[in-house]
Structure 1
Amino acid sequence: MAPITYLSFVMAFVVVPVAILAGVLAVSRRFRPAQLFGTGLLAGVALVYTVPWDGQLIRIGVWEYGSTLLGQLGVVPYEELLFILTQTVLTGLWTTLVDVPDGRGSVTRRQRLVGVLAGGLVGMIGLAVLLVPSGTYLGAILVWAAPVLALQWGFGWPILVRARRTVTLAIALPTAYLWAADRLAIELGLWTFSPDRTTGLALLGLPVEEALFFLVTNAFLVQGLVLLGWVVERDALPAVTDVIDTTVERVE
């Protein structure tokens, strides 16, 4: 049997589920232009924001690849770029399936400040963890995540709290799935981690750093799409109200 490569892994465990979700959305007619646009936008942002960070961790030896690679953009494998894109689409399509955008609610300046400070706290914790060599990967994730979390939480954490059931469901399923897939990839030797730059802590064989990475990246995507849906629906509410009022007046 031919050995499993990084490319075949991404195709089987990410691209195929993306195709299945796309089919489900097409059959159920749940495609929403705003969320599809948001998913595409987030895919581009994910590449721009993640690739330099990813490349730096590869350069300092946080992880290495144990399979044949198609090629590299700098030090980042092409397969990694495909993984970033397809993970974004996977989580985006799943969020589109389970989320019903709601334009109700508002956010005060004080609430925005609290959200920004909470994101900043994540970054401060990350910087503290980075002081320990074994905290390199964990701290790098927290520092990298902090600006995005500060932006999203500062923009509308009360909206995310109000939609917490949807947000939790949208994050939980793709995260659990990717945890399982990543655990399998590690077992197959597709990538390995430096014992000197990781904590050595694991959840059922999955390094805590990897578990955190998929959790925060899916949180980025889900929170971004839920907030986008809120903005679109919020701006649409006045127009809908005007139409209803006009219709009522004509009936009267």
Structure 2
Amino acid sequence: MTYLGFLALFLGIPILVLGALARRRPTERRAWTAMAALSLIALLYTTPWDNHLVAMGVWGYDPQRVLGITLGWVPLEEYLFFVLQPLLVGLWAMAEGPKPPPPETTGGKGRWGLLIALAALEIGALGVWISGLQEGAYLSRILAWGLPPLALQVAVGGDRLWAAREVLARRWAGPTLWLWLADGIAIRAGIWFIRPEFTVGLGLAGLPLEEMVFFALTNLLVANGWTLALDPVVERRIRQAEFRPLRIPSD
């Protein structure tokens, strides 16, 4: 199987099926806009990080299974993956049908505790990255790259995400389990490979822990982004922040 064939089978076909189901559901126009925006953000944010990992040899690709069109260190198919994964998550949510946003609450103080925990994890991941330690290099880079946008989402609407946790869990779990399965098949087929010296040596059914964390984290970011983009409470918060006048303290 080639990388392009993998994309067609594990992302292209599910996207077409989910897209057909989504069109039968009443969907706001901004849902489609949010999905396109998340794909663009994923492409722009992931490209430098992915090129860094391939350049340092954390993972690589079988040259016989890619088209041979490389942008930087990464084959064209990888960039297509960046765009298709958010589409898969978004269409999975849309196929389920629109869900009313949870009622507004006055809570949200727990966001600070979660933000502190995320900051501690970020510092630890950056410490491993800077130290140059080879074992755990892949995991540290996943966390250092993925935790800042997660912290931003929590800061903006952590209380809203918690209030919608049951719906959010469904939006996250299906695509994550599917991509864990697909990733394991791709690794066993030799489409891409992970160098074990850069991992912590843990995994499940041949799938390295780092790959499980990567897809769990990226799908969570997309599902969170999708949920926040359609939440009227979050939209109001952002608008109020944009138009709030700047107050200059007086002497």
1:47 equivalent in structure 2: 43
The residue type equivalent to 2:213 in the other structure is L
1:94 equivalent in structure 2: 92
SS in 1 for 2:53: helix
2:59 equivalent in structure 1: 63
The residue type equivalent to 2:36 in the other structure is G
* TM-score, structure 2 as length reference: 0.85
How far is 1:54 from its partner? 0.2
Distance in 2, matches of 1:81 and 1:106, equals 40
SS in 1 for 2:174: helix
How far is 1:109 from its partner? 7.8
Q: Which string of whole-angstrom CA distances, capped at 9 and with x for unpartnered residues, describes residues 50-77 of structure 1?
A: 0100000000000010143221111111
SS in 2 for 1:31: coil
Distance in 2, matches of 1:118 and 1:38, equals 28
SS in 2 for 1:133: coil
Q: Which string of whole-angstrom CA distances, capped at 9 and with x for unpartnered residues, describes residues 168-205 of structure 1?
A: 11101100000000000001000111122112211111
Distance in 2, matches of 1:234 and 1:76, equals 36
- Structure 1: segments with no counterpart, 5+ residues: 236-252
How far is 1:97 from its partner? 2.9
Judge conservation of contact 1:104–1:234 (CA < 8 Å) in 2: no
**Aligned-residue RMSD, C-alpha:** 2.0
Distance in 2, matches of 1:73 and 1:127, equals 27
Distance in 2, matches of 1:114 and 1:39, equals 30
2:137 equivalent in structure 1: 136
Distance in 1, matches of 2:82 and 2:29, equals 22
Q: List aligned pairs for 1:166-245, cutoff 5 A.
A: 166-231=167-232, 235=236
Structure index of larger Rg: 1
1:241 equivalent in structure 2: none
Overall identity of the aligned pairs, in %: 36
Between 150-159 and 89-98, the greater mean CA deviation after superposition:
89-98
Distance in 2, matches of 1:210 and 1:189, equals 15
**What is the number of residues matched between the two proteins?**
231
How far is 1:39 from its partner? 0.7
How far is 1:164 from its partner? 0.9
Judge conservation of contact 2:157–2:234 (CA < 8 Å) in 1: no
Return closer, same or farther for 1:25/1:177 CA change in 2, 3 Å cut-off.
same
1:151 equivalent in structure 2: 152
1:76 equivalent in structure 2: 74
2:17 equivalent in structure 1: 20
Judge conservation of contact 2:107–2:159 (CA < 8 Å) in 1: no
Judge conservation of contact 2:146–2:217 (CA < 8 Å) in 1: yes
Distance in 2, matches of 1:85 and 1:175, equals 16
How far is 1:227 from its partner? 1.1
Judge conservation of contact 1:5–1:68 (CA < 8 Å) in 2: yes
Judge conservation of contact 2:156–2:234 (CA < 8 Å) in 1: no
- Structure 2: segments with no counterpart, 5+ residues: 237-251
Judge conservation of contact 2:2–2:191 (CA < 8 Å) in 1: yes
Distance in 1, matches of 2:206 and 2:42, equals 27
Distance in 1, matches of 2:185 and 2:209, equals 15
Distance in 2, matches of 1:155 and 1:233, equals 7
2:117 equivalent in structure 1: 118
SS in 1 for 2:116: helix
How far is 1:128 from its partner? 4.0
Judge conservation of contact 2:135–2:200 (CA < 8 Å) in 1: yes
Q: Which string of whole-angstrom CA distances, capped at 9 and with x for unpartnered residues, describes residues 125-174 of structure 1?
A: 32244343111100000000111011001111111111111111110110
Distance in 1, matches of 2:225 and 2:104, equals 16
